[in-house]
A = this chain, B = another copy of it.
């Protein structure tokens, strides 16, 4: 526990984010639930039991500072909500059109490798990719 919290404290310090209690708990949650790519609301719902006074605004403020400092990246697929990703390695995502869950997809995309490339005269700074389809769980549970 304490050692974990120290680990998170160091992560925040390295990124120049003052390690307050709320920020530590939010960071802990997203690190330990990396696979879920949570929304702000999921983070809020998960923490309000332990921190009854926490507010959505704090979650948004915290996630926005995490985004600014590059601690998390936004996962944008639906156009109606932002999800957050702590995973550092370059990867893409798949959203299942049945269950709505988002999965990490580790693929070697030739475009994602060379940074600061130019295409058609535009400078490329970020490469994002996502897939839509049916996840393996939903494929298993029912045939189509």
Protomer copies: 2
Q: How near does chain B come to A49, taking the closest CB pair, in angstroms?
A: 28
Q: Is B122 within 8 A of A133, CB to CB?
A: yes
Q: Mark A12-56, 1 if CB is under 8 A from B, else 0.
A: 000000000000000000000000000000000000000000000
A residues with a Cβ closer than 8 A to B are 74, 76-79, 81-82, 94, 96-97, 103, 105-107, 109-111, 119-136, 139
Chain B residues within an 8 Å CB radius of A133: 122-126
How near does chain B come to A124, taking the closest CB pair, in angstroms? 5
Most buried by B among A77, A97, A129: A129
**Closest Cβ neighbor of A81 among chain B residues:** B79
